[in-house]
Amino acid sequence: MKALNAQQSRELEQRAQQQGCPLLQLMEQAGAAVARFFKKKYEMEQKRVVVLCGRGNNGGDGFVAARYLAENKARVVVLLVDGQPATENAAAMYRRLYEQPAVRVFSYSDDRELAFSLLETADFIIDAVYGIGFHGRVAAHMEPLFEQVSKAAAVVVAVDIPSGLLCDTGTMEGPCIRADYTVSFSTLKCAHILNPGKELCGEVSVAPIGISAALIDQQAAAVQVTEMADVVRAIKPREPESHKGSFGRLLCICGSTGMAGAAAMSISAALRCGVGLVDAALPRDIYPVVATQAQEAVYTLLDILPEGKYSVESRRSLEKSSSLCSAILLGCGLGVAPHTKALVEEVISGSRVPVILDADGINSILGHIDILKTTDVPLILTPHPGEMSRLMGKTVSEIQQNRVRYARQFAMDYAVTLVLKGAGTVIAAPDGSIWLNRTGNAGMAKGGSGDVLAGMLASFTAQGIPATAAAAVAVYLHGLAGDRCAAQLSQTAMLPTDLIAMLPKLFLEIGR
């Protein structure tokens, strides 16, 4: 599914108008869609609804919703929060309100105390103050109103986007209405997926308003949002005559003393995602721990000499394993000792197959990241915000304020696929295209979740799925597994290993 920025949303509306769909008609359909949302979800008769309407077209959508809700016998009050409507179409819909005499209209500026009282006693509040074109900070005289909405016990539903939120970045410069639900028109918007916007939007539903699917398909998008349909397209059914060689061979160079669990989780996740064979290259001393948890892998055991180098035999074994594999995963508890840093550099420069850098694989190249430019094979990096800040020399706050921009910049500068982890994981391709993810929850914020994701991603890559698609599929399924675990086990009690245990059920659904 596409997610549009503000300019792209305007372009889509303009093209719809050029094809004979007037803006007034789109506004009517938008307001009707908001009313349908309520009708499907709630019994509205005699419910108290306050519709906050701004001066622009978002307010026009609110006028229409008010009219339809009154027809459904709700007790509707329209609150003009910033004076009379200022656009031609919003003014037309304001005049049509008087066709429905049951709707009462008040002005916020005339009687603030009355406005606050209405909000305090409302069952539902509809936020139609600002739309996707909003930028800057909410006007000072509106801040008490927004504060009152936040105090209200009512269910809050935003029209297209919560007011105060910046459409393109999902950030805000001042107060912002927090919605329980958001009804978006035609497509998702970037702010629905990017935090903190994602949290402020609540549950988002996309409603058609008469713009054809063909026009939406033709519209350039800021980002793509991964859906189950994308996963189904990427993971093909297995042919009856398949064998383990049909599904790739993954070399996992992971683990170190004290970090056996990271290796075990990444290997187990890779195996659960269908790769034909996992060759796990790890220090000999952690082999007994890892092998008991991942029995299906084969193992290349590495010996580290007292001077801190791999033995000659270990290096030969690694060279052989590298020559046989279809993808390499580097990281997941690998450590950042001098011998591992040297190995990471050698693999990146010399690999003939895709390489996935996670955790210590990323930390090993800090200070000389230009090594990423020394290879033509696909590279996938999976940093969390802290690692991303070190890669780019930015603060974590700077990265988090504009995750899409920095992910895209890094991916294009270094010709890599970049998976910027966190709430609303961002996947950036070397060509600048962006995929965003909506699955996942805070219960996954535990040590080991990243190792599971790295193993899943590496597995799909080893099976021949292109880098960006493999990343999008892995991130989506990883988050979906987390959501299922949270529902069954709670966010507090769920563990990264539970994600691996959930994967078979997800693959059954994909197969169906």
- The continuous run of DSSP H or E covering 125 comes out as strand 124-128
pLDDT at 98: 86
Give the class (CATH, top level) of 228-233+248-511. alpha beta
On whether 174 is known to bind a ligand per the annotation, the reply is no
Domain layout of the chain by residue ranges: 2-220, 228-233+248-511
Mean pLDDT value of segment 472-477 = 98
496-511 and 260-272 are packed helices; what angle lies between their axes, rounded to 10 degrees?
A: 10
Beta bridge partners of 105: 78
How does pLDDT run across 282-295, given as a tens digit for each residue? 999 999 999 999 99
Q: How many separate helices (H) and strands (E) can be counted in the chain?
A: 20, 19
Strand, helix or coil at 422?
Answer: coil
Between CA 67 and CA 76 the distance in angstroms is 8
How does pLDDT run across 193-207, given as a tens digit for each residue? 888 899 999 999 999
On whether 511 is known to bind a ligand per the annotation, the reply is no
On whether 47 is known to bind a ligand per the annotation, the reply is no
pLDDT at 99: 86
On whether 486 is known to bind a ligand per the annotation, the reply is no
pLDDT at 407: 97
On whether 131 is known to bind a ligand per the annotation, the reply is yes
How does pLDDT run across 391-448, given as a tens digit for each residue? 999 999 999 888 899 999 999 999 999 999 998 899 999 999 999 999 999 999 999 9
On whether 370 is known to bind a ligand per the annotation, the reply is no
On whether 425 is known to bind a ligand per the annotation, the reply is yes
Q: With a cut of 90, say whether residue 483 has pLDDT above it.
A: yes
How does pLDDT run across 332-369, given as a tens digit for each residue? 999 999 999 999 999 999 999 999 999 999 999 998 99
Structure-token match 């000999």, residue found? 284
Provide the terminal-to-terminal Cα distance of the chain, rounded to the nearest Å: 21
Q: What is the mean pLDDT of the chain?
A: 96
Instruction: Tell me the pTM.
Output: 0.88
Query: Positive or negative CA dihedral for 184, 188, 190, 195?
Result: positive
Q: How confident is the model at residue 39 (pLDDT cuts 50, 70, 90)?
A: very high
On whether 423 is known to bind a ligand per the annotation, the reply is yes
Give the class (CATH, top level) of 2-220. alpha beta
On whether 245 is known to bind a ligand per the annotation, the reply is no
On whether 333 is known to bind a ligand per the annotation, the reply is yes
Q: Which two tokens stand for residue 24?
A: 């007034």
On whether 422 is known to bind a ligand per the annotation, the reply is yes
On whether 54 is known to bind a ligand per the annotation, the reply is no
Which of 445, 454, 448, 466 shows the shortest CA–CA distance to 273? 454
Mean pLDDT value of segment 21-39 = 97
Strand, helix or coil at 420?
Answer: strand
Mean pLDDT value of segment 453-459 = 98
On whether 248 is known to bind a ligand per the annotation, the reply is no
134 burial level (CB within 10 Å; 0-12, 13-18, 19+) = buried
On whether 20 is known to bind a ligand per the annotation, the reply is no
pLDDT at 169: 87
Mean pLDDT value of segment 74-84 = 96
On whether 72 is known to bind a ligand per the annotation, the reply is no
On whether 89 is known to bind a ligand per the annotation, the reply is no
On whether 59 is known to bind a ligand per the annotation, the reply is yes
pLDDT at 42: 96
Which of 434, 374, 444 shows the shortest CA–CA distance to 406? 434
Instruction: List, edge to edge, every strand of the sheet that includes 434-436.
Output: 188-189, 2-4, 223-225, 434-436, 426-428, 417-420, 379-381, 355-357, 327-331, 249-254, 277-283, 298-302
How does pLDDT run across 112-149, given as a tens digit for each residue? 999 999 999 999 999 999 999 999 999 999 999 999 99
